[in-house]
Amino acid sequence: MNCLIIIILSLMVIAPFIAAFKIEWGIYLRSTCRLNTKENEVVLTFDDGPDNENLPELLDLLDKKSVKSTFFFIGKSIRENPEMVIRTNLAGHNIGIHTYTHAPMLPFYSVKRLAQEVYMTKHLIKSIINKDVILFRPPFGVTNPNISYVVYRAKLKSIGWNIRSFDTVSNSDDKVVARISKRLKPGSIILLHSNIKGAARLAAKVIDEVRGKGYKIVNL
């Protein structure tokens, strides 16, 4: 009996922690992690920009491939590269909020501090492109009650993913493409990054692979 109680108590402690890292579970925050469709359609999303080193080439590539995507930008990078926000918007891509600092400890911030992260980024984007942003992606895909409260109060729509490419840690484009290809299904939302070296090169390979398997790339 004591062992059963210990197991139950352990699960009560561990389960909420695990749920915070499982955005697809929607325990704390309901997020769109896959389009509700049976059509062979997928979405490309890019995190952690904007920068003026890798993003320009990526935008050129997407234009050449006639692909529209969604970019989740970090506020401090927006302030450093406002011209890239303008260019991304003019190219017809969606722009979303990825908080102001994307700090490692951000999921543990208070409601007040999280609200500052979100609203600063939201207002900064609007000041540049004169658009109200409604899309939000939690840094690291971590959710909790504080993040949920801020997102709902700000009337934002949380966007997750069901294919994580791990492009920031892989040293092989082919492995990233293979990982994505193996997990493709109708409505998949693919997570990539726009600020990594070779982002355009990798995106080109992903687009060719996705289309080669009969999928159409759509935007959110």
Over residues 144-166, the pLDDT tens digits come to 999 999 999 999 999 999 999 99
Query: Which pLDDT score is estimated for 21?
Result: 82
Report H helices in 49-160. Answer: 55-64, 75-80, 82-90, 111-129, 145-153
User: How many structural domains are present in the chain?
Assistant: 1
Query: Which pTM was predicted?
Result: 0.93
3-class SS at 205? Answer: helix
Domain, as residue range, for 117: 2-218
Burial of 190: CB neighbours in 10 Å, binned 0-12, 13-18, 19+: buried
Which pLDDT tens digit goes with each residue over 38-68?
Answer: 999 999 999 999 999 999 999 999 999 999 9
Query: Which pLDDT score is estimated for 14?
Result: 72
CATH (domain of 93): 3.20.20.370
pLDDT at 79 over 60: yes
pLDDT at 20 over 90: no
pLDDT at 111 over 50: yes
Average model confidence (pLDDT) across the chain? 94
- Secondary structure element (H or E) that encloses residue 9, with its range: helix 2-20
Instruction: Find the range with the poorest average confidence among 1-10, 59-68, 108-117, 179-188.
Output: 1-10
Which pLDDT tens digit goes with each residue over 120-138?
Answer: 999 999 999 999 999 999 9
Sorting pLDDT into bands at 50, 70 and 90, what band is 9? very low
Q: Is residue 20 a contact partner of residue 144, using CB atoms and an 8 Å limit?
A: yes
pLDDT at 3 over 80: no
